[in-house]
Structure 1
Amino acid sequence: MSADETAKPKRRPNAWRNWSGGVTETSTLVAGPTSETAVKALVIGASGSGLKIKSVGSGHSFNDIATTEGLRLHFDDYRGLVSVNPDTNVATFRAGTKLHELPKLLGPYNLALANQGDIDAQTIAGAISTGTHGTGLGFSGLAEMVKSLRMVLADGSIVYCDERTHPDLFEFARLGLGALGVVLEVGIQCVPAFRVAASEDALPMDEVVESFIERARSNDHVEFFWFPHADSALVKTNRRLAPGEEPDESFAPQTALAKFVDEEVVQNWAHQLVASLGSVVPGVVPKINQFSASLMGRRHYVDDSHGVFVSQRRVRFNEMEYAVPLEDGPEVVREIQQLIDANDWNVSFPIEVRCAGADEVPLSTAYQRESMYISVHQYVREPHLEFFGAVEEVLQAAAGRPHWGKLHTLRHDELRELYPRFDDFVALRNDVDPNRVFANQYLTRTLGE
């Protein structure tokens, strides 16, 4: 098949929706290129016809960052490992590679990601472009692990960039919101594969909030989940094991059965039942949450890093997440607790709290400040606007920065106040995409015309 044939957009069902089902759109054309030559031809052809272009990954963003009425590019057939540098441990992947594919691809090289979030369905390009992260003050989000990018710009040029080649583009495109070009390949700094000793404990919520910063500073990774209306929270604390290190006997290897029971039976089947019941009979939510919290118990186990960091999420929900300054975080959590109690809301999904170290990625939510991430969720069949709106006011008052791929209402004038290099990003966008080939409604709201 010739490059021209490969590049020709194939007509297929053009309706698209995100994972939660809260965002839908219908594009004029859909294409799944299999080579960079095809992407180049598609960009030149679409932009010449006046069509806007947007790349879409797995649809795991909760807002409309991936929508377009023009040409939608998916990279389902542009995946896999390109290369591994044995001297630097930098692994380069094609844009459509899913995070859950990385352990198998990196296994022969005994490498792993240094850190990651609890969902691994995203594409590597989508994950870095929206600021995906895990937890741990000694670690950053995926974007700061990026060491190189290969991209197609609005004029159709194919550009490789890193810290020495096109450094300005590289600096911003690591977390570029899809506004600067189409990402073709991502070079990620990996680390030698490692195991993790994982602890899960149910503790009094007041104690968890009060001690969170101390826990974060004294452990590799820590996060907690609190079911509103309950007095306790589930605290997850993970310690990275040194090569050859064996934990004490209380940490047993995680069996397939134990993992199935925890992830499928408890986290998915039971949670689906609880959320569905709560959507029909909201008044039972507080009692159900209290019962769910009472079931949370002590669990210690050992597994490979991705086996600990990642959990399956099959129950559909909407989510909003903000990063607030770490030291202010506990008080912000208390304010949200008080807000829920004062409004008598029935919130069936837990509030999740994580943390990250300061980084130097200009549009990172953790840019130059240690951060506490506070996420609120609501089952897809339950209304969320009033709850999210009120919580968002609390988070904004704390100088919170919204996750780029999750629900928020901030516009460019407000975001400019939160990001010291916001105008530098916009200026670069003006240079590389002056005609806004990659624009959509989300980018217009967040970055301006």
Structure 2
Amino acid sequence: MTAGQTEILEPGKLWWNWFGEQNFVPRYLARPRTEDEVRQAVLKARELGLPVRASGRGHSNPPIVATPGVHIDFSQFREVVSVDEQKLQVTVQPGITVGDLSRFLRTKKMSLNNQGDIDTQSICGAISTGTHGAGITLPCLAAQVISARIVTAEGTFLDMSPDENSELFRAFKSSLGMFGIVVSLTLQAIPSYNIHKRSWNADLDECIDGLHPRLRDNRTFWFFWLPHARSAELFVLPDGLPSTASRDNDICHMRTYNAVPVDEPPPALAPGEEYDHSSVIFPNPYEPNFREMEYTVPFGNFEETFGEIRHLILTKYPEEAFPVESRPVKSDDSYISPFSERDGYAIGVSGAPQPSTWALLRDVDAIFERHDGRPHWGKHHFMTPARLERLFPRYDAFKRLRKELDADGLFLNDHLRGLFG
């Protein structure tokens, strides 16, 4: 090893995630700024016989990052590498946040096709865990990736796209960092657009009865079920909204988002409406005051699944106040995305970050299991290999590809080994 390769590793430091639930101290830490520094870190870890995991901004609930070996921190590896303004494509380093990328694209007259309402995750972490926005025609963020470059367990660079290593590319797109360490991602953007957003509160019946027309008539529709009068404040949802609700609990906070070309004049706004660029309207503030689980059920199973969850909370957990979030997402062609080859409806259930919340999540998990719910990989779940094999037709193929790339499990940790080893 050269002096540079030795110096890429420094003594490990305490790391914790956004929620404060996960923490660990690795043996070594690497904070690369270049592709070759990533490669050097992997080669050194391999020489020392140590596992490797990378982190973005720590927005995942489960212990995805934890490792006793080498922790690669992407916080200084977050630049825009190149832009093709004709093709509307951008290549970035993995540590750039969704928000920073979205705001950069605005300066180039582009937008992400879709994103969620938290934009402080790294783009790599969001893609790797199947993070998504909402809309029956809009797939998760991973579907916007058109090529990627990783460092493999052998310390070599591997390029993937629909035309190069295509099977690996499909499996890679939501792979939790198990195929290698990402050094660049190329995303397909679309022409820049503004969003006209409308928010209001309504009774549950109005929400569910009008669900499918709203899904059909709006680019994006999603809602939060609010079991208590205090529910909205727990997720920093806006107050003072227009409301047709007949009460202050067991109601829905609803949102529509519709795209408008940036050269059109802004509309006159009524109460509860917002209008600005997509990079501004999508994100919302959140406090990390919750423990969350989100599963995606087949699109046609949504109403029944949601109804069972609502009944469970109202009858068995009447003091639980965190909103339940519901978002439809279009299918994609990846192997273990929650939306792999299946249109889905994602339902997020949260509770306070305290031990008593686990009973609620376990009971909700049982409902999801009956309805073929697939986990959001960045949120808590109770998966087993047997469940994954039943839920994902390409689960065995994914495991085969992972092992072919990393026979020694360099990029695994205890959490991932139990599911994919």
TM-score of the alignment, normalized to the shorter chain, above 0.5 = yes
2-structure distance, mates of 1:400, 1:52:
31
Kindly state the Cα deviation for residue 81 of structure 1 after the two structures are TM-superposed: 0.6
Q: Which residue of 1 aligns with 2:46?
A: 47
Kindly state the Cα deviation for residue 196 of structure 1 after the two structures are TM-superposed: 0.7
1-structure distance, mates of 2:24, 2:320:
29
Structure 1 residues 32-431: aligned runs within 5 Å: 32-229=31-228, 230-246=249-265, 248-250=267-269, 299-381=272-354, 383-431=356-404
| Alpha carbons of structure 1 residues 13 and 427: separation in structure 2 relative to 1, 3 Å | closer
1-structure distance, mates of 2:2, 2:264:
51
Gaps in structure 1 of 5+ consecutive residues: 252-297
Q: Would you say how many aligned residue pairs link Structure 1 and Structure 2?
A: 401
2-structure distance, mates of 1:13, 1:249:
54
Kindly state the Cα deviation for residue 248 of structure 1 after the two structures are TM-superposed: 4.2
Counterpart of 1:349, as a letter, is F
Counterpart of 1:5, as a letter, is G
2-structure distance, mates of 1:130, 1:344:
29
Counterpart of 2:269, as a letter, is S
Kindly state the Cα deviation for residue 192 of structure 1 after the two structures are TM-superposed: 1.1
Kindly state the Cα deviation for residue 210 of structure 1 after the two structures are TM-superposed: 3.0
| Alpha carbons of structure 1 residues 431 and 382: separation in structure 2 relative to 1, 3 Å | closer
| Alpha carbons of structure 1 residues 19 and 3: separation in structure 2 relative to 1, 3 Å | farther
1-structure distance, mates of 2:408, 2:288:
40
1-structure distance, mates of 2:182, 2:64:
15
Counterpart of 2:264, as a letter, is E
Counterpart of 1:242, as a letter, is P
Q: RMSD of the alignment, in Å?
A: 1.7
Kindly state the Cα deviation for residue 315 of structure 1 after the two structures are TM-superposed: 4.1
Residue 441 (1) aligns with residue 417 (2): no
Kindly state the Cα deviation for residue 326 of structure 1 after the two structures are TM-superposed: 1.3
Counterpart of 2:93, as a letter, is R
Give the fraction of aligned pairs with identical amino acids, expressed as a percent: 30
Asked if the contact 2:192–2:261 (Cα under 8 Å) also holds between the matched residues in 1, the reply is no
Gaps in structure 2 of 5+ consecutive residues: 229-248
Question: Which piece of structure 1 moves more, 12-21 or 424-433?
Answer: 12-21
Partner deviation per Cα, 1:77-128 (whole Å, 9 max, x = no partner): 1111111122321100001111121133223311111100011111111111
Kindly state the Cα deviation for residue 446 of structure 1 after the two structures are TM-superposed: 1.9
| Alpha carbons of structure 1 residues 428 and 396: separation in structure 2 relative to 1, 3 Å | same
Greater fraction of residues in helix: 1
TM value normalised by structure 1: 0.86
Asked if the contact 2:12–2:27 (Cα under 8 Å) also holds between the matched residues in 1, the reply is no
Question: Which piece of structure 1 moves more, 343-352 or 216-225?
Answer: 343-352
Partner deviation per Cα, 1:237-276 (whole Å, 9 max, x = no partner): 111113433464235xxxxxxxxxxxxxxxxxxxxxxxxx
Partner deviation per Cα, 1:39-67 (whole Å, 9 max, x = no partner): 11111111121100000111100011111
1-structure distance, mates of 2:16, 2:328:
30
Q: Which residue of 2 aligns with 1:270?
A: none
SS at match of 2:39: helix
| Alpha carbons of structure 1 residues 14 and 117: separation in structure 2 relative to 1, 3 Å | same
SS at match of 2:184: strand
Question: Which piece of structure 1 moves more, 126-135 or 225-234?
Answer: 225-234
| Alpha carbons of structure 1 residues 368 and 10: separation in structure 2 relative to 1, 3 Å | closer
Counterpart of 2:15, as a letter, is W
SS at match of 2:261: coil
